[in-house]
Amino acid sequence: MAKPVTITVSHDLGRQGAVNRLRGGVDTIRDRLGIVRMQLVEEAWEGDSLRFGVAALGHTVHGRIDVEDSLVRVEVTLPWMLAIFAEKLKLGVEKQGQIMLDKPKA
């Protein structure tokens, strides 16, 4: 059975600022995925939302990122074989999301 995972990351960039930061950070995400033998295989922006697919361990995980005024919501559905990685995925996405969405220090 598939396991849905929802992660939220708060920010204070405003909706457009967060979208710009995420659009600009996709190459960094792609590079980091390659280090752990994962690959971004789908990337489609629709307004303030990104549909994506990540290939790992012979499976493709599809998800969606929705950018709101003060938070970013990441939703993925893990195949049952990858569901054991749900907590690690959640922690990793929260950490990297916060790094990506933090305002630079003045």
- Residues contacting 20, CB < 8 A, separation 6+: none
- Domain enclosing residue 44, as ranges: 3-100
Give Rg (Cα) of the chain.
Answer: 13
**CATH value at residue 87:** 3.30.160
| Structural domain contains residue 96 | yes
| Structural domain contains residue 106 | no
**Tally of domains within the chain:** 1
| Structural domain contains residue 105 | no
| Structural domain contains residue 25 | yes
Q: Which residue has 């204070």 as its token pair?
A: 12
pLDDT tens, residue by residue, 11-68: 999 999 999 999 988 888 888 887 778 888 999 999 999 999 999 878 888 999 999 9
Q: What is the pTM of this model?
A: 0.85
Instruction: Name the β-bridge partners of 7.
Output: 74
pLDDT tens, residue by residue, 73-105: 999 988 887 788 888 889 888 988 888 898 765
- So what's the pLDDT on residue 20? 93
